[in-house]
Amino acid sequence: MIPLLLLTGYLIIDRLAKNIVIGKKTDNDSGVTTGTGDQVNNGFEDFEVTIADTPLELMEFPSRSIGNATFKVETSKKTIMKYPADGKAQSVSVMDASGIEWTLQIPDNALIDEEEISITPLNNIELDRYPGSMLHGILLEPDGLEFLKSSSITIKKAGETIKGVVLTSEHDGSEVILSPSEAHEEGIKAPVQHFSTLLLVPEDDEITEEFKDFAKAQYEMALEYAERLLEKPLSVPAPPSISPECMNEGKEEQVKEYGELVCKEEEEIVSRIWSANRTQWVLSGGMEMNLPPVFFQLLHRMNAKVRKLKSQYEPEPEKFMPVFNAAIRAWKKTSFFIEAPAPSAFLSWAEKARKHYMDKLNKDHDFKAFGAAFHFDRVCSLLGGDSILQRIINSMTFKLNVDVQYHTPGYPITIKGEGTLKPSYEEGGIETIYSMYDKTLYAQGEITLKYEYTGEDEDLTIEPEEFTVMAQIRNINPCKSDKINILIEAFGSDDETYVYEQTYGEYRDSYPWVKEESEMHFEKERKEVPCKILGEGVIALEMFDFEVSLNKEAMIADETFRREQSMMDKWMVVKLQLEHTPN
């Protein structure tokens, strides 16, 4: 899974609407809102942004850590959910030892890929700043997971009203910091910035006053840094070139690091202002706490950076991922407060990138592009575009040509034929074979073979005239190997019959000579594999397994295999030609 963005929280709409208006700058002469605000082209168009090819010198910020927490993870109470990335919203809940229920709510289209998500209650929690205090908490995994859309945690307990301060920390409990939260239906609701550890400090008069002071100090310090940052020229680092072909953890980390770097200073200050503002608001009983004008100016700087990157690098396909990552992070921070370029603005770029990799797959026969095209199709769908999933699947269609020469003294026989192998079939909808039951299988189908006797006996023919066998293509993984596997069920029919036309009539000799001889000659290539048969489900099937080299041309494989018994003058040659025939 590719992490794409930082999450923001659920907010009180009517209060923020007032805060946004108060936070705007107004030209006294014209009454026109300028500099900040919630109008589409207001403010950030005035910023001049430069792109730097050298590392930027970033501001350093003092730690905002409250302390470190220790705890015991109640592994036996872990709740696991497999997020299917099917476009539907999901939720998962867990109850801790005190009876508090924690519910993680994930919106629709929040991840590009499937992910296993877990939520585990904690106990024996102690924050070193407040020894002996009673805390509650959960561990969200996988550590560091981020979503495309806002996720939130609701904290409730039956028959009670939950009040307190929400904190977040690193996965191991270190670096505990304030997290924005709000009262919600007799409980608390808080945004999930990223998967780590969430803690709840129940309302306590002494601790509450300390948190108020801490939040106030953090707020005032953040304002000072905001003013300093606004004096700096706007500059953004040039994005690295990263292709989703052969995606790996190293590339994912590059994408994430660049996304974090683009607006790192603005994000840090905005997060400090927002969490301190919300904490003061919660602890003051809902007293108005308006956001300052510099808060909105920082948001506009973030949008300006994104616009510059998009205008500079679209439609370069290898720049999309890092720039989109930065854009999504900025959008999640800014979109609730001001008008911001929506993620859907990147749809055209994503569609062009998808076409780029489709052309590489279909025209250049570069199978590394298959995963990239699939990735961009998912992005296009998430951004509101049309999916071409079936076209991508059809791009992995092949024609297999088989030519077998079998020789035993007096009986030279040729078996020839071809067939189409596809990665999907229809049965009440499209299913992709390899994702359904066997991740090494990429294409499957039937090939039709025919016997031909090529000896001197003109009165001999072989039946049946033609027969069908199952064939598969497995292990297409050009990122790791230039080898693939072609599997064929048999080279002869069980009903193989030799028909002799003689003067006194027809003589028929039924015995699967070719089938048995081929199994003897290629005994080492025989293996049992799962095979999806329509109407029968998945069955185990004995097949010949030939490893062949992968070429970057339409005829992606063309190899010959020979086995012989020299003392008996018997031999068999199998020639396989695999052609990439996308449609």
For the stretch 26-47, pLDDT in tens is: 333 322 222 333 333 444 456 8
CA 261 to chain centre: 21
pLDDT in the model for residue 287: 62
- Do residues 138 and 121 make contact, with C-beta atoms less than 8 angstroms apart? yes
In the chain, what is the straight-line distance between the N-terminal and C-terminal CA atoms, in Å? Answer: 29
- Do residues 66 and 175 make contact, with C-beta atoms less than 8 angstroms apart? no
pLDDT in the model for residue 530: 83
Measured distance CA(580)–CA(361) in Å, rounded: 10
**Which residue(s) pair with 67 in the sheet?**
176
Measured distance CA(130)–CA(347) in Å, rounded: 49
pLDDT in the model for residue 45: 52
Measured distance CA(5)–CA(251) in Å, rounded: 15
Residue environment code for 327-344, b if the CB has 16+ CB neighbours within 10 A, otherwise e: bbbbbbbbbbbbbbbebe
Tell me which residue has tokens 């616009």: 307
Tell me which residue has tokens 């519910």: 103
Helix axes 317-334, 249-262, angle to 10 degrees: 50
Q: Identify the H or E element spanning 373.
A: helix 368-382
Measured distance CA(316)–CA(131) in Å, rounded: 54
Weakly modelled stretches of the chain, pLDDT under 70: 1-46, 205, 286-288, 424-439
- Do residues 583 and 397 make contact, with C-beta atoms less than 8 angstroms apart? yes
If phi > 0 it is left, if psi is from -120 to 50 it is alpha, else beta; for residue 209 that is alpha
Task: Name the phi and psi angles at 60, rounded to 5.
Answer: -105, 135
Please list, in sequence order, all residues whose beta carbon lies within 8 angstroms of the beta carbon of residue 368, skipping any fewer than 6 positions away: 245, 246, 360, 478, 479
pTM: predicted TM-score of the whole model, two decimal places? 0.79
Which contacts of 363-367 are long-range, i.e. CB under 8 A and separated by 24 or more positions?
Answer: 364/552, 365/551, 365/552, 365/553, 365/554, 365/556, 365/580, 366/478, 366/552, 367/476, 367/478, 367/550
The CA–CA distances, whole Å, from 564 to 234, 282, 432, 548, 572 equal 74, 84, 39, 20, 6
Q: Identify the H or E element spanning 374.
A: helix 368-382
- Do residues 388 and 354 make contact, with C-beta atoms less than 8 angstroms apart? yes
Q: Beta strand pairing status for 25-26 and 555-565?
A: unpaired
pLDDT in the model for residue 539: 83
Pick from 173, 170, 96: nearest CA to 127: 173
Measured distance CA(240)–CA(320) in Å, rounded: 10
Measured distance CA(391)–CA(583) in Å, rounded: 7
Coil, strand, or helix at residue 301? helix
